[in-house]
Amino acid sequence: MKVDGTHYRSLWWDADKGALQIIDQRWLPHDFRVQSVTTMEDFAAAIVEMRVRGAPLIGATAAYGMALAMAQDPSDANMDAAWTYLNATRPTAINLRWALDRCRAALRPLPPADRAAAALTLAHEIADEDVEINRNIGLNGLELIKQIAAEKPAGEPVRLLTHCNAGWIATVDWGTATSPMYHAHDAGIALHVWVDETRPRNQGALTSWELGSHGIPHTYITDNAGGHLMQHGQVDMVITGTDRTTRRGDVCNKIGTYLKALAAKDNGVPFYVALPSPTIDWTVTDGVAEIPIEERDARETTHIQGRTEAGEIGVVQVTPDGTPGGNPAFDVTPNHLVTGLITERGVCEASAAGLAQLFPEMTKAAE
């Protein structure tokens, strides 16, 4: 997508520098900074510190990390060491392990002399595939928005609510939950998006930055406002992303997603999840019992970063001294609260049967 009129992906390979370039998202939405990632330590820090974030983007970043490892030392031992090192960076988003497993499976049979070039080519492929997956999620989600728009009074926008940032900067391009919004806006459908702030990291600000750059009308709201808006008929559809989805359609996403799903169910508001297939964990059935939930630094809850009136980016403490903070980063929404899953292959119900209908080969391989 575009930043100040220039097209960017959230990561890209700079052949002249021989290094991966990323948008350092710690500084958004106030400052746009690009960073070269040149060491394995850089790759790990980029993922852990959320310089890159979002399940698809983490996976693509890890693939380039494996490429760097093979350029440094293409041995089996180093391949396994890189897999272990990168896989430990974040526990919840399944795309990380998916990308690492894919790289290792493709590279292991090759002679060591061929691995560096093959690994870089594969990283490019994973990045390009992510762009196409998300583009198609957008096209399939567009059909749902069209159906809602057709039933609205003339001139009234389709009102969407989203949680966290499942936008183009959480993927390589297009985003998951935002992709249908971009397609609908570009098709001339009037939209208004309610953007949850998404504490504690306020990632809704990233969504607002994206939507504003694309000209999509939106309002930034507190996390606790969504249920109120639904009660008063001001939300036509909720659409979120996901970091890991079970084979039966339980959805793990940013903390607070479950509460939005409960409010949507209570008020008859359709709740859709934009789901790239690499985010499905075919080895897990019960999301609440089986998906590991990352517990992040308590400082993320006790302190907040923003821009001062003087224009400086700074951090302030919002709690009393000595107050401990708890910071589970994700929660799980059971499949019975999910109206449907928007995938690159179409829309299905959130169930084992629904996913099997769209992805029969993956279902069979997991059995």
- pLDDT tens-digit readout, 84-103: 999 999 988 899 999 999 99
Segment 138-149, tens digit of pLDDT: 999 999 999 999
Segment 241-253, tens digit of pLDDT: 999 999 999 999 9
Band (363; pLDDT cuts 50, 70, 90): confident
How far apart are the C-alpha atoms of 265 and 333, rounded to whole Å?
Answer: 12
- The active-site residue, picked from 243, 250, 281, 331, is 243
How far apart are the C-alpha atoms of 326 and 316, rounded to whole Å?
Answer: 18
Tell which phi-psi region holds residue 99, choosing left (phi > 0), alpha (psi between -120 and 50) or beta. alpha
What order do you get walking across the sheet with 19-23 strand by strand? 11-14, 19-23, 34-37
* Interval 246-262 mean pLDDT: 98
Question: Is residue 243 among the annotated active site residues?
Answer: yes
Band (76; pLDDT cuts 50, 70, 90): very high
Segment 38-69, tens digit of pLDDT: 999 999 999 999 999 999 999 999 999 999 99
pLDDT score of 320 more than 90: yes
pLDDT the model gives residue 271:
98
Share of the chain above pLDDT 90, in %: 95
pLDDT averaged over every residue in the chain: 96
Band (115; pLDDT cuts 50, 70, 90): very high
pLDDT score of 33 more than 80: yes
pLDDT score of 80 more than 90: yes
pLDDT the model gives residue 176:
98
pLDDT score of 365 more than 80: no
pLDDT the model gives residue 362:
83
pLDDT the model gives residue 211:
96
Segment 275-295, tens digit of pLDDT: 999 999 999 999 999 999 999
Band (4; pLDDT cuts 50, 70, 90): confident
CA dihedral 313, 319, 323, 326 (to 10 degrees): -70
**DSSP collapsed to 3 states, the chain:** CEECCEECCCEEEECCCCEEEEECHHHCCCCCCEEEECCHHHHHHHHHCCCCCCHHHHHHHHHHHHHHHHHHCCCHHHHHHHHHHHHCCCCCCHHHHHHHHHHHHHHCCCCHHHHHHHHHHHHHHHHHHHHHHHHHHHHHHHHHHHHHHHCCCCCCCEEEEECCCCCHHHCCCCCCCCHHHHHHHHCCCCEEEEEECCCCCCCHHHHHHHHHHHCCCEEEECHHHHHHHHHCCCCCEEEECCCEEECCCCEEEECCHHHHHHHHHHHCCCEEEECCHHHEECCCCCHHHHCCCCECCCHHHHEEEEECCCCCEEEEECCCCCCCCCCECEEEECHHHCCEEEECCEEECCCHHHHHHHCHHHHHHHC
How far apart are the C-alpha atoms of 184 and 150, rounded to whole Å?
Answer: 13
Residues in contact with 288: Cβ distance below 8 Å, sequence separation at least 6, in sequence order: 250, 332, 334
* Interval 254-260 mean pLDDT: 98
* Interval 4-27 mean pLDDT: 94
Segment 166-200, tens digit of pLDDT: 999 999 999 999 999 999 999 999 999 999 999 99
